Amino acid sequence: MREFIETMRAAGRLTEVSGPCSSEYEAPKRAATTDDLVFFEDLDGMRGVMNLTATRSALALALDIREESLLPTLAGCRFGGEVAVDGKVTAGHADLSKIPIMKHYPLDAGRYLTSAIVFSRYGGIQNGSIHRMLVLDRTHLAARLVEGRHTYNLHKAALADGEELPVAITIGTHPAVTFASCTRVPEGKELAYAAELRGGTLPVRECSNGVLVPDAEIVLEGYIGAETAEEGPFVDITGTYDPVRIQPVITITGMHMKQDPIYHGILPGGAEHKMLMGAPYEPKIYTAVSGVTGVKNVVLTSGGCGYLHAVIQVRKRTQGDAKNAIMAAFAAHTSLKHVVVVDEDIDPTSLAEVEYAIATRVRGDEDLMVITGVRGSSLDPCRLADGTNVKVGVDATMVMGREDEFVRARWD
């Protein structure tokens, strides 16, 4: 992570905060005013960073991929990197109060870890994923484990066997590792995917509980047992508060920190949160749509919380391709709510361009697909009590054979 911070500094995309800054509200407010990487020299006495990869260009820089090649390159990954064990982690006394864990908004339940990756290992399978974690005291966290996801399933399996789930939590990893941990990959392939993104090999170290971790500023060792606690309220991707739930408790048994560590925080509902939520799904949608028509680009928009709205740029082969693209997108990312398909001449990153396509190429009686009673995102405040929602697809492409009627005046 330190190498990437210096890369961003050299690129002129780093904002430095030299004076003291509080982890309660002040640092989150500063991060909310910019998409630049924000580096804090004194975050409650420790160095800190926010907005590490808050833009697509920053993510491309972190992965060392040209931005225009980012989507097809990620779509072509095969999660086949090599993970090389290189030593062990020596953990000392655990004390979460020594870390500048942030309280982001006034109605939050408390201080939350937001960038931390929970690595867990059980039955020979290791998983890595980001979970929000509420600080309960110096050695305990309440973690939101989404039902059916891998950490939840491993924890459930451990409890069924009368055991606890060993975990190691990393804070301050290279963005490639963070991105891999946010991506739905084949079982146990997060570290292999990170290795592939890092050039082929990723060195890791083994914690005392057998869990493998990559290079990180801070490593917390512990386990998830049968204990539970209230978790929430917490601001999620939509900028609204997620409700209070009863969630598992993580007990921290050891802590390792680099000398003069750098804490990484992600602003809930902020640009980096949206990027890490949505960008891993863009290659999946790209691959799915490529099976039905020529796909040029996929963008999960910021206004759609980086998660609920997709704009798909295609080169149609037949008149029905746009609607097939819509269905493929909904199947690839089931949390999508609205999809707009546009032609090659429309920039999918420009909301003005997309609106223009809707204004001039959509007939409401022919070009809208409305699908009711389908599962949507649990984060959408307007979902029904049973979890279902309404999805809408918009074919904002030109009618094939009538393209000359849609020619736009240009000087180039």
Rounded CA separation 272/49 (Å):
12
- DSSP 3-state assignment of 183? coil
Rounded CA separation 303/25 (Å):
23
Provide CB contacts within 8 A for 230, sequence distance 6+.
Answer: 109, 142, 244, 245, 246, 247
Rounded CA separation 81/227 (Å):
36
Place of tokens 């809930």: 268
Q: Is 367 considered catalytic here? A: no
- DSSP 3-state assignment of 204? strand
Whether 131 and 151 have beta carbons less than 8 Å apart is answered as: yes
Whether 195 and 296 have beta carbons less than 8 Å apart is answered as: no
Burial of 204 (0-12, 13-18, 19+ CB in 10 A): buried
Rounded CA separation 309/330 (Å):
10
Q: Which letter, b or e, does each residue of 27-38 get, where b requires 16 or more Cβ atoms within 10 Å of its Cβ? A: bbebbbeebbbb
Alpha-carbon dihedral angle through residues 193, 194, 195, 198, given to the nearest 10 degrees? 130
Catalytic entry in 236, 242, 343, 367:
236
Rounded CA separation 146/159 (Å):
16
Whether 173 and 129 have beta carbons less than 8 Å apart is answered as: no
Residues tagged active-site: 236
